[in-house]
């Protein structure tokens, strides 16, 4: 087999075919996939990857250190019940329950626009999600390219935004997206909060993008509540215009790699519980936004 890359939209996102990562990925192949991911604007769909959990973790380490890896930086996971019991690097997404009644993964994970773990000093770089079991229909994930969105702003708006910073706080999502019993006290006391520039420069490509999201961004520093809400509301509406979006319809054994430094995403939960869905995600620790 030979690696082939094809665009999925005119602006960003591509698919990769012709590789079997379960059989192993040498340095050259891994480097080629990683470059294709960057060239595609940070979204690469690698088709037909029936990966074991162990192989998924091994491949992900080529993108950087993993949240939850005991050998690097243990994940202070907000909802530990969703972490794989044998592999702390794996966050599980599912609408199913185990025989003992415990969730097999987070039901309704990411059903709001967000960038993974943006509330940390070092937010997520890449996320790598593998489809293990899919409903017959539904369960799409929508991605937003904040690089294109930034480029489309007027020069005056760019000039205003560049010096600004925004606060990212897990509490924004915790109070609306998570059931209270599974949110630990530290998550509601500022332990998961960070300040990041609104306009971020990508450490590898040098491209500039917006770096705010409705899921975790609470406010802009130095503005009152109404001013902050007005600016953020404009940016969210601007970013989610159709020309900046790609809607991914999952296929069996898809592996999707996305760049949290320049993309937001939204999981569409339009499937019932009698249509099982189970996915596993690794999350790479990224750089400090600049």
Q: Per-residue DSSP letters for 33-78?
A: HHHHHHHTTSEEEE-S----HHHHHHHHGGGSPBBT-TTTB----T
Residue of 196, 261, 265, 277 marked active site: 265
Residue of 56, 69, 106, 116 marked active site: 116
Segment (H or E) for 28? helix 27-39
168 is catalytic: no
Residue of 120, 196, 248, 281 marked active site: 281
Strand order of the β-sheet with 193-197 is 193-197, 165-169, 217-220
Query: What are φ and ψ of residue 240, in 5° steps?
Result: -95, 20
The CA–CA distances, whole Å, from 266 to 116, 177, 240, 246, 275 equal 11, 13, 10, 11, 20
**Residue among 83, 124, 125 at smallest CA distance from 106:** 83
Residue of 114, 200, 248, 261 marked active site: 114
How big is the chain, counted in residues? 290
Q: CA-CA distance, 20 to 3, in Å (whole number)?
A: 9
Q: CA-CA distance, 223 to 210, in Å (whole number)?
A: 18
84 is catalytic: no
265 is catalytic: yes
Apex CA 133: angle with CA 128 and CA 138, to 5°?
Answer: 90
Please identify every residue annotated as catalytic: 114, 116, 265, 281
């Amino acid at each position: 087999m030979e690696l082939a890359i094809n665009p999925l939209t005119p602006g960003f996102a591509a698919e990769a075919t012709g590789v079997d990562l379960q059989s192993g990925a040498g340095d050259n192949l891994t480097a080629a996939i990683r470059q294709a991911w960057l060239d595609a604007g940070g979204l690469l769909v690698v088709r037909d990857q029936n990966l074991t959990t162990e192989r998924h973790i091994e491949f992900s380490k080529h993108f950087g250190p993993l949240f939850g890896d005991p050998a690097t930086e243990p994940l202070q996971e907000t909802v530990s019940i969703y972490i794989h019991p044998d592999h702390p690097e794996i966050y599980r997404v599912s609408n199913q329950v185990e025989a003992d009644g415990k969730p097999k993964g987070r039901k309704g994970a990411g059903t709001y626009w967000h960038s993974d773990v943006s509330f940390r000093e070092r937010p997520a770089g890449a996320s790598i999600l593998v489809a293990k079991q899919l409903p017959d229909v539904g369960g799409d994930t929508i991605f937003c390219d904040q690089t294109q969105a930034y480029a489309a702003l007027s020069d005056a708006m760019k000039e205003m935004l560049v010096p600004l910073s925004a606060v990212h706080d897990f509490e924004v999502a915790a109070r609306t997206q998570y059931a209270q019993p599974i949110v630990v006290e530290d998550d509601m006391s500022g332990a998961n909060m960070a300040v990041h520039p609104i306009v971020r420069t990508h450490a590898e490509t040098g491209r500039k993008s917006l770096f705010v999201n409705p899921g975790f961004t609470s406010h802009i520093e130095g503005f009152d509540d109404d001013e902050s809400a007005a600016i953020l509301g404009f940016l969210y509406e601007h970013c989610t215009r159709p020309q900046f979006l790609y809607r991914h319809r999952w296929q069996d054994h898809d592996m999707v790699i996305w760049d949290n430094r320049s993309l937001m995403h939204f999981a569409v939960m339009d499937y019932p519980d009698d249509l099982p869905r189970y996915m596993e995600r690794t999350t790479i620790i990224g750089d400090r936004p600049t």
